[in-house]
Structure 1
């Protein structure tokens, strides 16, 4: 008989949580096993085998040396976002940011795991899971903000490409179905792809090279009739993915329990992928979203349609060179029939971009260019406004890094980033009403550095960010700034806001000594943003319309902490997200609380799983413009809500089904804006079937 030896250990993910059902194969013999419920594994392999392969869906494949492998080792698998086919074809990593390596607070959210817990709406998921502020407007639009910044500052990427470049920078999160997204990255602070932003959300579209199908049905008091469907047909070198979904939502006024506000979302998407067995991949991605809004009490209606088509070519070589080239076409059509206001908006955008990266020895050079040509054709009341915007961004960076070694304290990397953003607005002077032309040429810069401390049972990363950036007003902001009713406020033409920023962060990653030990990860960040000519939004009373102006100088400083803890008891884990901000002037930061807290307790039982979520936010301020031209300051009361989610997964042959029940704001602590309950008690039942 062949001689064998015992191999045993445990497998965890990047959050130090146990990974079950990991395929572990000893090569070349092919002897294998799977990790258990607590991530543990133990099996005998031939002593002549040289490699141990670890493979798990949604994570990068890892190969270790079987000869020097020490029993009791805790193996950590990193998350990947592109699904691997059964032939284990080498795939391209679609993550834009690394959780531990990035000099930002970075959070990866796996959509399959979140749909398992009953989430179908991206906005609700962010509001419940993270220290992200969700604003729900009077017309059912859901927007997010990070670090008490305005929602207009947030940058949205789709497969790493910015998509909120149209006239209106706000993106309704309800327009995205979780079924059509593989994962999502939340980044706090500025970075190469969005230097001027305080936060970024990157949607990574589902592009599976497998054959699969998913159907999801929701019922509830808020989402009272939605469905999501997805299917993929793929093989080694090509795939077609497509899906459709619809959501029906309702809101109530504070003086009645009967819903009088209704929003209907219709979503269609398709993704096509073609790749070779080396370095090339071509992706064609298309989105078509529609939002219909109706207020029975005020007779207000909104009909918005958004289309995005992206073609992207990626070439990535193992020698440290990578390149991507993309083109994007966007169309946005909207009709608003609000109290005494009638607007028709027609926006079109054509853009292209190029990104290149090269690693030479211990240095990395990157540059990217992005050009967009946007045309806004609006009818506001009796006035026709036409503006063409030409926007170009060039970004370059140079990084010096030191490969990780065995020293306890070591310099890790240092990076210099420079960006030039040039914008030209050319109005059509032949129409009824034209705004002033604009020309802005702004230079942005950022410096980052990090240091690493390695200890036997944990790693610490200390990082520093310093920068000076400008945010250019969107077309929507520029037009609204020069139209009624701002003539009554006698304000100046809108100009870019400037922001100087400093951030100091610490990341701690625990490495369990033995399989089954407790584990944790911590992200701490302290930052200070100083604004000059800060852009503030004033809301027109009883409407969702915003009018911007340069408020002047303002500042914010804050402290944030993200903690994930897994005790030895594997049936329970804890997450806590804390944010505390200090404003120089609360009126300069509309609808932003000074304190936010999220506590999440997850319990795994043999028959079901439970998530208990506590959300707390302090009071918020908002400035509205009344019909008589007088501005009014309104305070929204603090909230302290409890959410509950119960779910169970069933597997029968090739089918997987999930049933979940969730309750939002169980203790009924709603907030009201203009009499509308924007965060009331909500219940939903969700059924998911996949194969």
Structure 2
């Protein structure tokens, strides 16, 4: 009997010691900036085979059979900095925070046999791509704040909230801004206001620096910026509320879903801010800004091979600005409707059809002791394009036809002003523009690392333009008869070639481009309208 008691006591202490040598560590791994859980983080004991990974919400459970408080636990993920803690310093459950790794990358080229990137259809050249995973984490206010951090891109801010872009020291009217291939530049002055685009709706931004573009028109002397919208996300509903200084705030609602082969993304946003002028007389003049934004994107894939797909986009933005001190009111409203059909037809194989419409309304009024200005600009443009690629061995040939039909209704009414910039109070102009583009690319890849890729491309673009004036109402007696153009017809041709070679040596990777070509630029609508009239004391016109 005493022997059985002794054996029982020994077994009890053995189990107790075993329990004390086993520990379970539980916790959640989170991103430092967003405090959101990180999945697929490797959690393991250093210099051992004991480990696990975090689940979809970042939580983990690690059982350690040979427990030692001095053991080191490693938390490792390819996109984040690795951290290590001893077991003694961890509470259970523990919250572990990881910082995102910043990996500097040079500019890279987008290549694909069947290019999804709209901008990748152009001549071979260096393309900078900014993905949404970068700017969503850093919480930029808009596209302008994001691009301000990019090399050789200048962003100009106006007090009324408008933001324009210039590349490499060029002018704002020499940079083409696209929204999934749809031109956002005003037909009045060829300048794009990027503050009208909601950053939450963007999948990525593609940037071409330089004038080596042939598809997107002759105005891109400085470069091209293409904003690619989101068509689907990994969530169904997301709501955000921001509150900041200057009595500012905004809320955003995103909806995402799929039904069969149809996927859609909807986003709506409203925001406003109020600022005060700093004045000595304590008059408390205010500057009020408000914005309403709506975006809807969808894609319908007609078969499982994605050979026939229909894309649609609707964008609507309204911005209002009021300056009490300067008695200035500005209202902008922009709407874009677009549809793109990527088809694979038995007879002609790949072909793309695109139709888009852009409507822009601007109302601007200023009142002062010297007089008043009331200006309205109404733009209505219809764009149609057909894109047909061919591919034979190492040669890719692309033909593009583009039609742009635009109407500008411009009104400029001034009272008691000494300088009249336009000379007219109203003018209506219709512009029709045809473009024919041909691009021939030779692409060759080799097995040698020294010269991996060789590209050579030649292209031409021919454009026809015709302006027809519907109506002109003179602004004063000096502008009567100022109808120098009515039915002007112009045409120009540009030629370009591009050469790209890429490879590597023992310690160096290289990717070089050589671009050469000609370019042209048609007069903008504002240049068609504008002429300076100065009313002197002797009633003479200069």
Q: Same fold (TM over 0.5)?
A: yes
Q: Output the CA distance in 1 between the equivalents of 2:232 and 2:114.
A: 12
The secondary structure found in structure 1 opposite 2:411 is strand
Q: Do residues 487 (structure 1) and 533 (structure 2) align?
A: yes
C-alpha RMSD of matched pairs (Å) = 3.6
Contact 2:123 2:214 in 1 (8 A): no
Q: Output the CA distance in 1 between the equivalents of 2:393 and 2:109.
A: 27
Match of 1:277 in 2: 304
Find the partner of 2:429 among 384, 387, 400.
387
Correspondence 1:192-207 to 2 at 5 A:
192-194=214-216, 195-197=218-220, 198-207=222-231
TM-aligned CA distance change 1:180 to 1:153, over 3 Å: same
The runs of at least 4 consecutive aligned structure 1 residues that moved more than 6 Å come to 20-23, 32-35, 78-81, 256-259
Match of 1:449 in 2: 499
Q: Deviations over 1:40-90 (max 9, x none)?
A: 9xxxxxxxxxxxxxxxxxxxxxxxxxxxxxxxxxxxxx9999xxxxxxxxx
Q: Deviation at 1:236?
A: 4.3
Higher-RCO chain (CA-CA 8 Å, sequence separation at least 6): 1
Q: Do residues 342 (structure 1) and 377 (structure 2) align?
A: no
Q: Deviations over 1:81-132 (max 9, x none)?
A: 9xxxxxxxxx986423469x97444221122431221113111111134441
Correspondence 1:39-438 to 2 at 5 A:
94-97=116-119, 103-164=124-185, 166-190=187-211, 191-194=213-216, 195-197=218-220, 198-208=222-232, 211-221=235-245, 224-249=248-273, 260-275=286-301, 276-278=303-305, 279-315=307-343, 322-339=350-367, 340-381=372-413, 383-409=425-451, 412-429=454-471, 431-432=473-474, 435=483, 436-437=485-486, 438=488
Contact 1:120 1:179 in 2 (8 A): no
TM-aligned CA distance change 1:415 to 1:289, over 3 Å: same
TM-aligned CA distance change 1:79 to 1:408, over 3 Å: closer
TM-aligned CA distance change 1:236 to 1:131, over 3 Å: farther
Correspondence 1:589-600 to 2 at 5 A:
none
**Which structure is larger by alpha-carbon Rg, 1 or 2?**
2
Q: Deviation at 1:212?
A: 2.2
Contact 2:109 2:125 in 1 (8 A): no
Match of 2:24 in 1: none
The secondary structure found in structure 2 opposite 1:385 is strand
Match of 2:89 in 1: none
TM-aligned CA distance change 1:180 to 1:79, over 3 Å: farther
Q: Output the CA distance in 1 between the equivalents of 2:174 and 2:76.
A: 44
TM-aligned CA distance change 1:252 to 1:471, over 3 Å: farther
Q: Output the CA distance in 2 between the equivalents of 1:222 and 1:360.
A: 60
The secondary structure found in structure 2 opposite 1:128 is coil
Q: Output the CA distance in 1 between the equivalents of 2:110 and 2:126.
A: 18
TM-aligned CA distance change 1:113 to 1:462, over 3 Å: closer
Q: Deviation at 1:326?
A: 0.8
Q: Output the CA distance in 2 between the equivalents of 1:489 and 1:133.
A: 37
Q: Output the CA distance in 2 between the equivalents of 1:455 and 1:489.
A: 69
Match of 1:38 in 2: 78
Higher helix fraction: Structure 1 or Structure 2?
Answer: 2
User: What is the TM-score of this pair, normalised by structure 2?
Assistant: 0.68
Q: Output the CA distance in 2 between the equivalents of 1:387 and 1:94.
A: 36
Q: Do residues 467 (structure 1) and 517 (structure 2) align?
A: yes
Q: Output the CA distance in 2 between the equivalents of 1:461 and 1:178.
A: 31
Q: Output the CA distance in 1 between the equivalents of 2:452 and 2:535.
A: 56
Where structure 1 has 5 or more consecutive residues not aligned to the other structure, the ranges are 1-19, 24-31, 41-77, 82-90, 491-691
Q: Output the CA distance in 2 between the equivalents of 1:107 and 1:79.
A: 8
Q: Deviations over 1:640-668 (max 9, x none)?
A: xxxxxxxxxxxxxxxxxxxxxxxxxxxxx
Q: Output the CA distance in 2 between the equivalents of 1:139 and 1:334.
A: 13
Contact 1:209 1:235 in 2 (8 A): no
Q: Output the CA distance in 2 between the equivalents of 1:467 and 1:106.
A: 18
Q: Output the CA distance in 2 between the equivalents of 1:98 and 1:192.
A: 12
Q: Deviations over 1:226-255 (max 9, x none)?
A: 222211111441022211112324566576
Higher strand fraction: Structure 1 or Structure 2?
Answer: 1
Q: Deviation at 1:407?
A: 4.8
Match of 1:676 in 2: none
Q: Output the CA distance in 2 between the equivalents of 1:223 and 1:395.
A: 50
Q: Deviation at 1:398?
A: 0.9
Q: Deviation at 1:213?
A: 2.2
Q: Output the CA distance in 2 between the equivalents of 1:400 and 1:361.
A: 9
Where structure 2 has 5 or more consecutive residues not aligned to the other structure, the ranges are 1-37, 42-51, 55-74, 81-107, 415-424, 476-481, 537-542
Contact 2:426 2:472 in 1 (8 A): no
Q: Output the CA distance in 1 between the equivalents of 2:236 and 2:114.
A: 20
Q: Deviation at 1:182?
A: 1.2
Q: Output the CA distance in 1 between the equivalents of 2:313 and 2:227.
A: 12
